[in-house]
Structure 1
Amino acid sequence: MHAVGGSTITPAMEQASAAMASDGSQAPRLVVDARPQALGALDPGHRLLGLSLLRRLVLAARRAGLSDCLVVAPAESRERLSALLAGLPSVAFAEQLPATAGGPTILLPADVLGETSWLSSLARTPVGPDERRSADGALLLGRAVAPAAASEVAAKPLALEPRPLRLGQPADLPGAERRLLQALRKQTDGFMARVFARPISIAVSRRLAPLGVTLNAMTLVSMLIGLAAAPFFLSAAPAWQVVGALLFVAHSVLDGCDGELARLTFHETRLGGLLDFASDNLVHVAVFACMALGWSAAAGSPWPLLAGLGAVAGTAGSAFSVYWLTLRRKAGSGPVYTSVSADGQPGRVTRLLDELSRRDFIYLVLAFAAFGKAQWFVALSGIGAPLFLLALLGAALGERRRRAAA
């Protein structure tokens, strides 16, 4: 048996890595069957939305908490399959299914669609020592059942949601693609994001994923489009303001692509999330500042700058507060920003603040710009942004008091 890097794994190492507690305190091991007799017409190396089927399966399993993986494949396929899993630790290869039991095991064919959702459910499912539970080709084996002897144990049906999807033939690929793309939708999306922005950004991400576009590059492109929108609001002419508003909307739509690409390819990082958060707020500050400057020039008076100062200070202060109160302590591989709440249990005020922090306001800018009145938005923001900041700080103080009293 050999690791991806070519180093030998001894039977003792295999038993140590496979051993786990039957009470579920340790995740099951993952065994992926890539032998020709276990597969349909699709090769595990077939690429779907930027990743091979095999790499997507192993990465999804990692995200579901399954750290150790054994890939069973013929010797002549090892080098090619190893290349598909390059850079992933704790992956070993064998030519036959393990003939000895070493703990609970999840046994999957290499052509099943890798999704964290059902893999997480499967990993948490209790199983008796001598049981074999089956869900659409995915097997969960008890600690006393050897993978090589799994067919000798009567299977108990297991219902998973969503159900594992086997990709036995090319005709199965469009459905798999739709399923992966549908999972990119977020419960935290605002109304306009759900009905307008997200369908467009997902369509763009679908085209970009196979091209290997980096997530940070997509964040940079979105930020540059947003910054390009700002100077158009220096003009009082409706036509120029509409151009700026359309670029602002395009920034908002494309801003969803970096996170979608990250989730599609399992490349979510804290740095990428923070870069996305910072670039969004930089764009908002630039747009609000240009709106105020354009309004001041059109009015021939400096007082509109006060509204711009309120909007800019409130936006920048809120961004820094969210970072300091929640993001700087947040770890893990999931989305960096999901709520203004630091403890993950938002109350009524924080739920309202979460709704107000969504980007649906950008479409109001477009409506105002159509009449050459973008300054109306900065007037509203000059009051609303500082109030948002005060409410945010008040909610954070309330959460701190609740934690201290608990």
Structure 2
Amino acid sequence: MTRFAFTISATDGAARTGTIAMRRGEIRAPAFMPVGTAATVKAMRPEEVRASGADIILGNTYHLMLRPGAERVAKLGGLHSFMGWDRPILTDSGGYQVMSLSELTKVTEEGVAFASHLDGSRHMLSPERSIEVQRLLDSDIVMQFDQLVPTTSTPQAQREAMERSIRWAKRSRAEFDRGGEHGGRAAIFGIQQGALDETLRRASSDALIDIGFDGYAVGGLAVGEGQEAMLGCLDFAVGMLPADKPRYLMGVGKPDDIVEAVMRGIDMFDCVLPTRSGRTGQAFTADGPLNLRNARFAEDADPIEPGCPCPACATFSRAYVHHLVKSGEILGAMLMTQHNLWFYQRLMQTSRDAIKEQRLQSFAGEFLARYRTPAKAGAQSGEAA
């Protein structure tokens, strides 16, 4: 049984392609993980998510510990059995959601005390409890518990959060190693923090490497700092992480963000955008986002994206999807989400092929120029009527 093995098969500049082998299957890298927050990728059946090309999905520790409860999921056979997904699952630590969704949070060295956004009940999420929840879920890739602060925080607050995250990383690693059978078959990733500060990022990376993890994430980005600042941080942050381990950029992102990050050596991504946008009428295409709520699509017989092989595009017209979206029909959200997931997975496959064939620079240049063309993007995403 393969616990965790990362193999790089080709490189092109800083970009890499290869596989992560785990007991529940191989993950082709660079990989995009659809987000299954509450044990479901919204509006999709598991087999449809797999058919889009996804090798791995993400589950959320915070949401699942509150509802239906990690102990209940464990009693019912673990998250894979519970939701009908038999391939790898990465679970986040819950730290981001505690900070962004909860009320009355109090951060101490022990962890974060918070009030549930569901019913106001009080909870404590510590490194030990975060790892325990992920163990109960039977996660394949476990994330350390960390503290995220906005990039607009004071330098002192950024340093204190980074240093606390390191202390929590040690406790997360120790709790993972106490996990018995689960610890022997799963993997654990550390999370680099430090906002946009190169010195803090270096200190974080060095400490994480000293602790030792199976993979390393770049955390604390895509939280409002803007694309230019994020890419500027990646220019120095990615190279601080071990080249022989997977590098995961958390919470990213838009298609052009992903292509830019692949070029900088990132191997794994997750984001709610393809599913959330699908539920609000926005489709991703090679010519930029497409707002299917726009009245100009009411009699458009073309598919969502001409040339796309996804089932939604192979069967239905923009006019029909426009009608569904405007009418608030559930099928509209399903078809839009399906297309978006296929678009993201096709982008990852095209990126992997370009790296193998040593043409990533030309592919990225062409993709970014087309995707970002203001005339097309602006015309497509105009006001809904």
TM-score by length of 1: 0.25
More strand by share: 2
Of the two structures, which has the highest relative contact order with CA contacts closer than 8 Å and spacing of 6 or more? 2
TM-score by length of 2: 0.25
